Amino acid sequence: MTPPLGDIAHLGHIELLTPDLDGSVRFFTEFLGLTENGSSGGSVHLRTWDDYEHHSLTLTPHTTSGIRRTALRTSSEEALQRRVRELESAGCQGRWTEDEPGIGKLYVTGDPDGHEIALYWESEWYQAPPELRPGLKNQPQAKPGRGVAVRRLDHVNFLAVDVEPNGDFVRTLLGARPTEQIRLDSGRIAAQWLTFSNKSYDVVYTEDWSGTQGRLHHIAFATDTREEILRAADLALDSGVFIETGPHKHAIQQTFFLYVYEPGGNRVELCNPLTRLVLAPDWPLITWTEEERKRGQAWGLKTIESFHTHGTPPVDG
């Protein structure tokens, strides 16, 4: 049985692995405009100016790029315990830990593809120091005057060997709603977008043609306007940041976006999805066919050739 929408409040923060910690920190602070907010165990914690928690992103040195943890905040302590009971009843064993600053106990488990998922409730609200104090009391931090100055962490797109069981895991055990998906002529689900809130999506699963488990497609940060995506492209050109594709507008979810790579090798999306919300309580799952996807993912343009070449339609989101 699908749990009631609301036990998971939102995407909290993400831990990325990077073989170039210094370069990655420079990218996220100088280009994207995040603020460093401490370090622990060799990892660096950073935050966007409008996320209310201690950190939005953790960068951890490693031999490769990739994603280590995706943390989801629950709506209450009771919701956390409810989700843990449901996960364990379904055979998804996890462990409790307290290994992040500003965060209480986390229940760490994993999706069927092996991505680490952590659930938590207790969270320390960010208190800006005097030099970062905002002019408006209803935002946590002053908007940075450097780089793109992204507003918040928006979503994560996982690669998965088999999309459907992962989407079912997030839907039935965590309470997400699927909003859009791609179904191939074979009947296989090639990608699925799911939300925990009124945002049109928080988590995406995309078929991984390599057959490798636990990989990342991208993480995404939201900007205030489309124009900031265009400005980000100019800044990337000026500062030597690699642009993979864009600016474009996705057909699925209608996100205006830019894909870039940070020095550690992780793909990062800059997106402007703020105008699209799912407000209907009976929102129907929108399914795109293989033929419809052949028309292109962004204004009729194919954007990431590697996915198309290996037999999986290019993915939005």
Residue 62 CB contacts under 8 Å (≥ 6 apart), including other chains: 17, 18, 19, 68
Is the CATH code 3.40.50.2300 the one for domain 8-128+149-309? Answer: no
State how far Cα 123 lies from the chain centre: 19
pLDDT reported for residue 307: 40
* pLDDT of amino acid 5: 59
Q: Which residues contact 78 (CB under 8 A, 6 or more apart)?
A: none
What pLDDT, on a 0 to 100 scale, did the predictor assign at position 276?
A: 80
Q: Within 13 A of 121's CA, how many CA atoms are on the CB side? A: 12
Q: Is 7 left (phi over 0), alpha (psi -120 to 50) or beta?
A: alpha
**CB-based contact 173:84 (threshold 8 Å):** no
- pLDDT, position 312: 36
Q: Could you tell me the sign of the dihedral formed by the alpha carbons of 308, 287, 177, 53, in that order?
A: positive
Query: If we measure between CA atoms, which residue out of 266, 271, 277 comes closest to residue 248?
Result: 271
Report the C-alpha gap between 27 and 285 in whole angstroms.
36
- Token pair 């790579």 in the structure block, residue: 261
Residue linked to tokens 């040195």: 61
Kindly give the pairing relationship between strand 152-160 and strand 216-222: antiparallel
Indicate the Cα dihedral angle 147, 148, 149, 153, nearest 10°.
-130
273 backbone dihedrals φ, ψ, rounded to 5°: -100, 15
pLDDT at 304: 57
Which positions of the chain have pLDDT values less than 50? 1-3, 303, 305-317
DSSP 222-258: E-SSHHHHHHHHHHHHHHTPEEEEEEEEBSGGG-EEE
